[in-house]
Amino acid sequence: MARYIIRRLFTMVITMLVVSIIIFAVVEIAPGNVARNILGAYATPEQEKSMENQLGLDRPVAIRYISWLFGSDWQAERKIGRPLKEIVIQQGTVERFRQWWAVDEDGSLVRWGIQDGQLYKYTRQPDGSTVGVPDEGAWKTDENGVQYFWGVDNANRAVLWVKGQGSVEYRYEYSGWRKFENAPVDYIPLTKGLLRGDAGISLRYRAPVSELIASRLKNSGILAALAFLVSMPMGLLLGLLAGLNEGKPADRIISLFGLVTAASPDFATGIFLIMIFSLWLKILPGATVFASSTAILDNPKMLILPVLTASLVEMGYILRITRASVVEVVQSNYVRTAILKGLTRTQVVLRHVLRNSLLAPITVIMLHVNWLIGGLVVVESVFGYPGLGNFILNAALYKDVYAIEAASMFLILLAVGTQLIADIIYSFLNPRVRYA
Amino acid sequence: MAVDSTMIRITPAQLRWRRFKESVGLIFASPTAVLGLVIVLIWVFIAAFAPYLTHYTPYEQDYKNINKGPSAQHILGTDHLGRDVWARVAFGARTILLLAPISVGVAFLLGMVLGLPAGYFGGWVDELVMRILDSIMAFPTILLYMIIISAVGASPVNVVIAIAIGGAPGIARLIRALTLDIRTREYVAAARLRGDRPVQIMFREILPNCRGPLIVDLLLRIGYAAFYIGTLGFLGLGLPPPTPDWGGMVQEGHKFMTTNVWPVLSATVAIVTLVVGLNLFADGLREETMRYQ
């Protein structure tokens, strides 16, 4: 058993590694590079070049991939010669900023900057302010006599300054482009890497992706859980009814209903429900508008249609598996024996059919998380629901690359992880699998 | 010879005709398949004769009649730009009925190139192919399409590529499983003995014998492809406007649903009937072939 689990874990790690390469390759290497996506068509070539340099996009693909996954701070530490530290700054209750500092010999946190051509060292004070002193002695000299210095600047990057050879830096801010003289010539954006929990900064929201994901994950979780609670019993019940009445009108109606709901695109189901309950009967709101993305339970009425949409699609699927499973069990020898030995129909159904036929759908549903995630993206988009699916769709439309990458990795890990758990549970129940 | 008198000689043409009759019989044996086929054929008819069935092109804008309900001039009304909804639905049928089979065709080619060698050679080739396939299958389908389309941009070709990449692993796995079974047959051993190269064996001996289950699977996949083309259109990742595309019509009309429900209703009914029709057809056929076997 342990060997089986270890083997499966190993395959899962390999799969996730290949998945990460695919995601990275598709998102960052595909035509229309990242800088263009961020800047749009109106940036000048100099601005684009400066931006690429600042984001580290001019570095080799392999290095960028490694930085994305494992972080870039250890690469920068080697260049700077000091350990680096990331601190989290709480502002109010929600807003958070992450700052990178170098740790000086005496343990204080320091950064550097150029003022009037002179190198300044800024030391962080306990109250969060900084005190700057000239640090001209820190310049190093290479074999050609050029003075250079690797340090940390005030925008969470490891940067290379070369004395008297400052390049021009364009920063894209809310107000538009800002030009800086005497800027560094090379940049390494500092990150801890996805594996160490740093998913990068969203290009759209200018906030850490991991926190954006966390708040939306909760909303999606609520939606998925409610949909599960509705669809599971309904699907099993209808599937059982259809399976017990195989070939009769009841079965035909339920089966057709199951096929139509399972085959219809999720958005179509959602649109139909909006038309019926919102436009025609006018009893439910057709979109979800919440005061804040954390307050979705304050107005339960708005949740009804999204939950119903997600459940209907899922229910059609559960219904069909359950029906197939029940039909198989009903034809089995032990059910025939049970009938022949004189048990009543209720007893046969409860004791023999129900128990044996529910195992298959329950395991299959565990394997179905992948599909459910795709459905949630669509349902959330139909109703404007502030969940992870909607978040990732908007990231894709806006080309918020770090958000797409992190959210996809997270969702796929979730899907692969549940699949692994389902497999392990299943192998407990069915020993034949273990030795396959 | 004695044998000759008892043996009925069948020409290849007759054999083909007999096989054809058998497959047609298979379809008509299942009422579900017939119902599905009829629905699909209605859409094929509409798509084929779209210019003769409509009075407007799907692009013509009538600024005086914006977001109007059905009338004598516009049987399904007009959309937010004053375009005839029926024309957009009819021409939208062309889009989806063209793109869905093409993407399944491309997916089939990809799946064949991956699945045949994996099943035939086994060993590390199989291991490598399976790991890649597993990784692609780990993606929630919609997510995979979203990532690809957002990276390469929305266009008919890119939609086809995305849907083909999403569908290929399933087809490759099916072909691999079938190949594993077929490669142990005598006629494959015979081909090997007479010195055929692996490529010849794979394409001449194995692939033709995968036909039965493969055709049913591909038919099912055309339904999925239509499903996803519609969904991508709805998510705003499908065909760029003003191409008539059912998913896109729902996406555009969604905002105006409270004033004019017709563009959204028509496009939604269109996509649901087509996808359900394709599913009924493939499903009915699958059940019938299973019974047949």
- In angstroms, how far is CA A362 from the centroid of its own chain? 25
CB contact under 8 A, A371 and B140: yes
Three-class SS string for B45-101? HHHHCHHHHCCCCCCCCCCCCCCCCCCCCCCCCECCCCCEHHHHHHHHHHHHHHHHH
Quick: pLDDT tens for A49-80.
787 788 777 788 888 888 888 888 888 888 88
Q: Is A131 helix (H, G, I), strand (E, B) or coil?
A: strand
- Between the alpha carbon of residue B201 and those of residues B53, B105, B158, B172, the distances in Å are 48, 22, 33, 17
* Cis before A249 (ω within 30): no
Return the pLDDT at A44: 76
> Could you tell me the pLDDT band of residue B42, with boundaries at 50, 70 and 90?
very high
Whether residue B250 and residue A267 make contact (CB cut-off 8 A), yes or no, is yes
Mean pLDDT, all residues of chain B: 86
* Statement: residue A425 has pLDDT above 60: yes
Q: What is the crossing angle of helices A388-398 and A209-244, to 10°? A: 120
d(CA B155, nearest CA chain A) in Å = 14
**How many CB pairs (< 8 A) connect A and B?**
139
Helix (H, G, I), strand (E, B) or coil at A116: coil
- In terms of phi and psi (left: phi > 0; alpha: psi -120 to 50; beta: otherwise), the region of A92 is left
* Section A95-113 average pLDDT: 80
Paired tokens of A416? 């692969």
Q: How far apart are the first and last CA of chain B?
A: 35
Which chain A residues have a beta carbon less than 8 Å from that of B134?
A: 11, 15, 18
- CB of A142 within 8 A of CB of A134? no
Q: What is the mean pLDDT of residues B258-279?
A: 89
Residues of A within 8 A of B139 (CB-CB) are 19, 22, 370, 408, 412
State residue A32's pLDDT score. 52
- Which amino acid is it at B187? Y
**Closest residue of chain B to A390, computed from CA coordinates:** B235
271-290 of B, contacting A, C-beta below 8 A? 271-272, 275-276, 279-280, 283
Nearest to A373 among B132, B143, B152 (CB): B143
Say whether pLDDT at B92 is over 80.
yes
Checking if the pLDDT of A383 tops 60, the result is yes
Please give the single-letter amino acid code of residue A128.
G
Give residue A262's pLDDT. 85
| pLDDT for A201 beyond 90 | no
> Could you tell me what percentage of chain A is helix, strand and coil, using 3-state DSSP and rounding each to the nearest 5?
60, 15, 25
Query: A220: number of CA atoms within 13 Å, CB side?
Result: 25
User: 3-class SS at A207?
Assistant: coil
What is the mean predicted confidence (pLDDT) over A36-43?
A: 67
Average pLDDT over residues B260-270: 88
Residues A158-169 have pLDDT tens digits of 888 887 766 677
The reported pTM is 0.85
CA dist., res. B175 & res. B113, Å (int):
10
Asked if the Cβ–Cβ distance from A392 to B150 is below 8 Å, we say: no
Mean predicted confidence (pLDDT) in A40-54: 75
**Is residue B1's pLDDT more than 50?**
no
Is the pLDDT at B55 greater than 70, yes or no? yes
User: What does the pLDDT read at residue A94?
Assistant: 54
Contacts of B283 in chain A (CB under 8 A): 259
Residue B110: pLDDT band with limits 50, 70, 90: very high
Count of CB atoms within 10 A of residue B93's CB?
Answer: 23
Q: Which of A269-283, A285-299, A389-403, B112-126 reaches the highest mean pLDDT?
A: B112-126
ipTM summary value? 0.84
Grade residue B165 by pLDDT with cuts at 50, 70 and 90: very high
Searching chain B, which residue's CA lies closest to the CA of residue A264? B272
Report the gap between the CA of B15 and the closest CA in chain A (Å).
35
